[in-house]
Each structure stands twice: as C-alpha cells, then as structure tokens.
Structure 1
Amino acid sequence: MTAAPYQTPYDRIGGEEGVRRLVKVFYDLVETEPEGAPLRVMHNQGNGLAHAREAQFMFLSGFLGGPQLYVEQYRHSNVRQMHNHLAIGEVEAQSWLQCMEKALETTADEDTRRVLMQTFTRVATALRNQPPADNPLKVTSA
C-alpha cells in the first residue's frame, strides 16, 4: 500500500485558478458585505482594492505552496512588513477572518478550510498592532 502523494494547500485549492477564485470571492465579499467594511476603509486609505486583489493573489500563491510570485516581484514575503503601515486592531483582524472564512466556504473543501483558517487566524492575530478597544493605552504626563 502506498501513501497518497502530499498535496500543498495550493494544489488542494485548485492551483492558480483556485487561488484567483478565492481572492476574487474574498474581495467581492470585502466590497459588498457589512463585515468587509473595516477592510474597505483600510484599503481605500491605501493603494485601493484592485492593488490588494493582485497583491493577495501573488502572496497567497507562494504562501499556499505554489509559485513565489510576491517574492519575485517584491523580494520578500514578510507579512508583517507588508502590513506595518496599517493600523490593525481586533476589528480589522476579525473582518479579514470573517470574509476569508466565507470565501473558503465556496472555494475549498472542509479539511482545507479548517487548516487554512487555523493558519490565517494565527497570522491575523500576529499582525494586530493596535491595543484592544476596551483597554486603550493611557498616556500620562510626568
């Protein structure tokens, strides 16, 4: 009996076509659904959603085990560096995760969704750079 060959998440989601579909569904949700509103605001203050769609496709291709398109273009794939100019709090992180979970529901099988959401949750948590809204940092003068 031979073991089934390992498939990367990139392969499991359908390769280039699957990643493009995931990114399209994700950003369509960001543009139209209430839970996408915080991301719309953030992207509209930056390079816009069209840029974000292409950058996310390039990044996810490599992140999921496919071609390293983002690295080829930008010479790194440091997710913190990509987002360090953005204010990311709990609201923004949850907005991203909710839209991604919905996008994965229509583009990936259950096992792939589960694994990717675990990974995406860790990344979204690590990218938060704003204090929790209910516990803001207080600045006191000396």
Structure 2
Amino acid sequence: MSMLEDIGGETSLRDLVEHFYDLVETLPEGSNLRRLHARGHGVEHARVEQFDFLSGFMGGRPYYKEKHGHMDVKLMHAHVPIRQADADNWVDLMRKALIAEGHKGPNADRLNVVFRRISDMLVNDMDDWEDTGTRR
C-alpha cells in the first residue's frame, strides 16, 4: 500500500495540503513561509503544486512530474533561502495539519519522519539573499 493510500487517497491529501496552507496563512510561525511564498508565485500556487508533488511522491499520480518533467525537490527550492527555522516551522505546521485531519499512529509518524528529512535537506546557505527578494 502506498503512503497516499495509507492516508486515504487524493481527497485526504488535498484536505491535508489545504489545512497546512491555512495554518501557514494564519499562524505566527507561518509568517516567514508566507513571505517566501509571496516572493514566488504565492500561497495559492503553492497549494496546487504541493498537492501535485506530494501525490506523486506518496505513490499516487505524479501530477507535478507530468507538468514539470521532474520530481527534484532540491531543484524546486534552489532559488529559495531556507533557514533551519523555516524547515522546522514547515514540519511543525505539517504535523499540526496531519493531527487536525485525523492522521495519527504509524502512518502519520512515517510521514513526519519523511517530511523532516526532506525539509532538513532543503536548508541552504544563502547569506547573500537580500530582503528585497533578489540576490546581490
């Protein structure tokens, strides 16, 4: 059984992503994540792209790959200055979304471990990133 099937399929994944981004948009710990998304295509775009990516990543239809030709999460975020605090906030908000959507036990634990590994992998050193959203 795939991770996607473990959490209840596409409908459940869509609900999870929506809840996650609702938290990003409303909780204080989502403030820097909101700022980073505002420099890109925005949170609404991120809702779609995250669902598309996670569907394929979790063993479902690879919507992201069908649209973009790859599933390289580091490439997707290469232009984004991600601090450890941002990765920690992302994981914490996703954990809260999982709980709120009723996901618990071994399946949720497994997802939390995977999300932690991925988020830590995306932390980069972009000291030259200016607050204007451009590089020097």
Asked if Structure 1 and Structure 2 have the same fold, meaning a TM-score greater than 0.5 normalized by the shorter chain, the answer is: yes
Q: Which of 83, 86, 94 matches 2:80? A: 86
Please report how far the alpha carbon of residue 130 of structure 1 lies from its aligned counterpart in structure 2 after TM superposition: 2.3
> Structure 2-normalised TM-score?
0.89
Q: Which runs of 4+ in 1 moved over 2 A?
A: none
Q: Which of 51, 59, 62 matches 1:57? A: 51
Please report how far the alpha carbon of residue 13 of structure 1 lies from its aligned counterpart in structure 2 after TM superposition: 1.0
Contact 1:59–1:68 under 8 Å retained in 2: yes
Give the Cα separation in 1 of the matches to 2:104 and 2:6: 8
Partner of 2:131: none
Cα deviation, 1:19-41, whole Å, max 9, x if unaligned, reads 10010000000000111111001
Say whether 1:122 aligns with 2:117: yes
Please report how far the alpha carbon of residue 8 of structure 1 lies from its aligned counterpart in structure 2 after TM superposition: 1.0
1:7-18 maps to which residues of 2 (within 5 A)? 7-18=1-12
Please report how far the alpha carbon of residue 69 of structure 1 lies from its aligned counterpart in structure 2 after TM superposition: 0.6
Give the Cα separation in 2 of the matches to 1:86 and 1:15: 30
Please report how far the alpha carbon of residue 106 of structure 1 lies from its aligned counterpart in structure 2 after TM superposition: 2.1
Say whether 1:22 aligns with 2:16: yes
Please report how far the alpha carbon of residue 109 of structure 1 lies from its aligned counterpart in structure 2 after TM superposition: 2.8
Give the Cα separation in 1 of the matches to 2:106 and 2:57: 17
Say whether 1:112 aligns with 2:111: no
RMSD: 1.3
> Structure 1-normalised TM-score?
0.85
- Give identity over the alignment, percent: 42
Give the Cα separation in 2 of the matches to 1:35 and 1:20: 22
Specify every segment of 5 or more residues in structure 1 that has no aligned partner in the other structure, as ranges.
1-6, 132-142
- In structure 2, what residue type is equivalent to 1:27? Y
